[in-house]
Structure formats: C-alpha cells, structure tokens
Amino acid sequence: MLYVKELYKSYEAGKNRYEVLKGIDFHVAQGEFVAVMGPSGSGKTTLLNCISCYIPFDKGNIKLGGMELAGMNEDTLAGIRNTKLGFVFQDFMLLDGLTIRENILVPRIVQGKVEKEAEKLVGQLAAMFGIEHILDKYPAEISGGEKQRAAVARSLINNPLIILADEPTGNLDSKSSRAVIETFNNAKEQMKATIFMVTHDSFAASFCDRVILLKDGTIYRQLEKKDSRSRFQEQLLDAIKEMR
C-alpha cells in the first residue's frame, strides 16, 4: 500500500544544513495500523509531511497504491490528497461555521460530489463511531473527543487508500483518547482502513499492529504486537527507555 524507500530530507538555515531524515525504509500493508514514535526532533512530522507531499524531499521514493508521488505537479498532488489520502490532525481542523454532518462531507463538497451515497456513508460512519447524536450540532457545541471522532469520519468519506494521523490524541484526556483510538480500530476492522499515525503516546500506540521507532532521522527499531495490548505497551516503554 505505502512504500517508503531510502528517503532523505534536510533543511538549510543560513550556512548550516541539517539532515532530518537519513535513508528511511519501511512499508505499510493494506489494512494495517502503524504508528511512528520517537523523541522531539527525530523526524516524525517531517516524515508525515513528506508522505503527503506537503514538503519536498531530497531523494528517495514514496509509492502509494502503486503511484510514485515524486515529480507529480501540484494539481495532481492536490487531487491525490483529497481523494486518496485521509487526514486527522491534533487540533481537529473542523470548520466552525459548518455542522458536524457538513464537516464530515467537506472532502466531497470540494469535489462537488455530495450525492445520496455520500449522505448515506455519513450516517454509517456516525453510527460506527457513536456520533449520530451530534451530526446537526456545530464544533463549539461538542467535546474534544467527539470532534476527533468526527474528524476520523471526515478522513474516511472518500474511502482513501490510507489515513495519515498526526498526534490525533494529543489534545485529549485519557478517556477521549481511548475512544478515538477505538474509532481507528473500528475503521480498520469494519472498513479495512489503512492507518499511519504519528504519536508520542505509548498508550495510543499500543493499539497498533506495529510501531516504528525513529531516532535522529533513522529507524531505530520496529516492534510488532504479538501479545496483549498492555504487554505491547510495556515493550514500547522499554524500547523508548533503551533508545534514550
């Protein structure tokens, strides 16, 4: 589904050049829920921005569903972002002047494709994520956890190839965090969704199938969940301590 090969990214500040990603290699299979963890400055968000092509990378290859993303023009990339990628952000990015139903439909509104099938899918997603009761409310009227579940529903409205989530539980309490992560799991199990999540939260990461640990722009280690969620979280915490 997603293949990243020998990915390099650097920034220049004055006369100095800083290497952020140093030959990153990994893949995410269809229907897999994968997290990326690492200390501040390890390159997590830069990696996510390279995959979405919001920033250019120096060299390497990124393939999504067989498409090579490097070299595409901005109009083509914009179309891919709207139809093939789903995004979930830490600060929700809901539009205050729209109802939750309308917010979920935004990617379809951009395409001009708000037909009965899309309206039906909104209802199905809302039922799956337990947010039917807030569809006609506005973002200011609902909780942070409900906002994020609505954002996950929005990310799925176009049946994307992959969801890219950037610290989706970062602004939530533990109860809301669990509800949002369970929402991702529901999407994975019921819609075969593929999810790639950047997080600093070992609890959230422990629900994933696999976790990639980044350190200083390289992959330090990859851990696969083979036991219970709680045991996997212990393994993650041990690996993070070891990485320091």
Q: Is 163 within 8 Å of 88 (Cβ atoms)? A: yes
Q: How confident is the model at residue 13 (pLDDT cuts 50, 70, 90)?
A: confident
Lowest-confidence range among 112-126, 144-158, 212-226? 112-126
- The pLDDT assigned to 109 comes to 87
Alpha-carbon dihedral of residues 122, 99, 186, 108, nearest 10 degrees? Answer: 50
Per-residue pLDDT of 69-85, as tens digits, reads 877 888 888 888 888 99
Interval 43-65 mean pLDDT: 91
- The pLDDT assigned to 54 comes to 86
Look at residue 113 and tell me whether its pLDDT is greater than 80.
no
Q: Angle 43-47-48 (CA atoms, 0-180°, nearest 5)?
A: 125
Strands (E), the chain: 2-13, 16-28, 33-37, 59-64, 67-68, 85-88, 162-166, 195-198, 210-215, 218-224
Token pair for 59: 């060299």
Tell me what percent of the residues of the chain surpass a pLDDT of 90: 73
Look at residue 42 and tell me whether its pLDDT is greater than 80.
yes
Per-residue pLDDT of 196-227, as tens digits, reads 999 999 999 999 999 999 999 999 999 999 98
Average pLDDT, the chain: 92
